[in-house]
């Protein structure tokens, strides 16, 4: 241990005096808070769900405060994960609440690579997808639509069926023009 010099004693004394002054100045500031406000808190609700970021569907718990997800943790009873979550699952809060999160269909308006987009309606997006599928399938009969995750969610299947149905109608109108 080093010996205390006169200089280090003066520094320590000044630091202790400053800490004491700050402590005295702050004394009572928290006790003056409205009692009703101090006892009210945000209600945290625990929801059981699964992560949908890959095909494993790991069970997890999501905690919400005022309807906003604030924490994700693994379910210790999960048969595969045993309470552990991967980085993709733990990143879901950032993904959902990111200012860059796409909330509605977007259509490119500039040249490819310029990152220029405009928001469009779902009907316009389905019509555009159907038209592109019809153009591609005007030369053949088969169209393969897949969500890339191997899950086949009901909402996705309904969307795919609608796109394919509109695409077939569009293709049938395009075929005579292509055959010429």
Residue 91 to residue 53: CA distance in whole angstroms: 10
Whole-number Å distance between alpha carbons of 51 and 6: 62
Task: Look at residue 142 and tell me whether its pLDDT is greater than 80.
Answer: no
User: Among 18-27, 43-52, 159-168, which range has the highest average pLDDT?
Assistant: 43-52
The residue ranking higher by pLDDT, 103 or 149, is 103
Greater model confidence, 158 or 146: 158
What is this structure's pTM? Answer: 0.49
What's the CA gap between 157 and 164, in Å, rounded? Answer: 10
Q: What is the arithmetic mean of pLDDT over 164-170?
A: 66
- Kindly report, residue by residue over 32-73, the tens digit of the pLDDT: 666 676 667 778 899 998 888 777 788 889 999 988 889 999
Residue at token pair 């009692």: 35
Q: What residues form DSSP beta bridges with 117?
A: 108
More confident residue, 180 or 5: 5
Q: Which two tokens stand for residue 133?
A: 């599928």
Number of neighbouring beta carbons within 10 Å of residue 84: 15
Work out the pLDDT band at 177, boundaries 50, 70, 90. Answer: very low
Contact 101, 95 (CB under 8 A): yes
| Radius of gyration of the CA atoms of the chain, in A | 30
* Helix residue ranges, H only, the chain: 6-26, 35-39, 87-90, 92-97, 122-137, 154-179
Structure tokens at 32: 């003056």
pLDDT value, residue 178: 45
Least confident of 53-62, 70-79, 125-134, 167-176: 167-176
pLDDT > 80? residue 174 = no
29/35: higher pLDDT: 35
- To the query of whether residue 11 is one of the catalytic residues in this protein, the response is no
Say if residues 74 and 81 touch (Cβ distance below 8 Å). Answer: yes
pLDDT at res. 179? 44
Q: By the 8 A CB rule, do 146 and 135 touch? A: no
Of 11, 71, 88, 132, which is the active-site residue?
A: 88
Residue 164: half-sphere exposure toward Cβ, Cα within 13 Å: 12
In degrees and rounded to multiples of 5, residue 91 shows phi and psi of -85, 0
Please classify residue 60 by burial: count the beta carbons closer than 10 Å to its beta carbon, then call 0-12 exposed, 13-18 middle and 19+ buried.
Answer: buried
The mean pLDDT value for 144-150 works out to: 58
Average pLDDT, the chain: 75
Q: Is 30 helix (H, G, I), strand (E, B) or coil?
A: coil
Q: Which residues contact 47 (CB under 8 A, 6 or more apart)?
A: 61, 62, 63, 64
- As a whole number, mean pLDDT of residues 110-115 equals 88
Per-residue pLDDT at 29 exceeds 60: no
């Amino acid at each position: 241990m080093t010996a205390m010099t006169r200089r280090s004693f003066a520094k320590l004394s000044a630091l202790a005096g400053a800490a004491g002054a700050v402590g005295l100045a702050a004394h009572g500031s928290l006790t003056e808070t409205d009692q009703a406000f101090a006892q009210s808190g945000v209600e945290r609700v625990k929801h059981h769900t699964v992560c949908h970021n890959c095909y494993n569907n790991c069970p997890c718990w999501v905690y919400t405060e005022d309807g906003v997800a604030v924490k994700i943790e693994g379910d210790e009873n999960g048969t595969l994960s045993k309470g552990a979550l991967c980085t993709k699952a733990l990143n879901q809060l950032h993904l959902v609440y990111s200012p860059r999160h796409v909330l509605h269909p977007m259509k490119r308006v500039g040249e490819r690579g310029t990152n220029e987009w405009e928001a469009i309606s779902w009907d316009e997006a389905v019509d555009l997808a159907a038209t592109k599928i019809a153009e591609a399938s005007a030369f053949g009969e088969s169209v393969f639509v897949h969500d890339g995750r191997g899950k086949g969610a009901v909402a996705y299947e309904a969307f795919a069926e609608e796109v394919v149905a509109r695409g077939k109608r569009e293709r049938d109108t395009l075929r005579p023009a292509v055959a010429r």
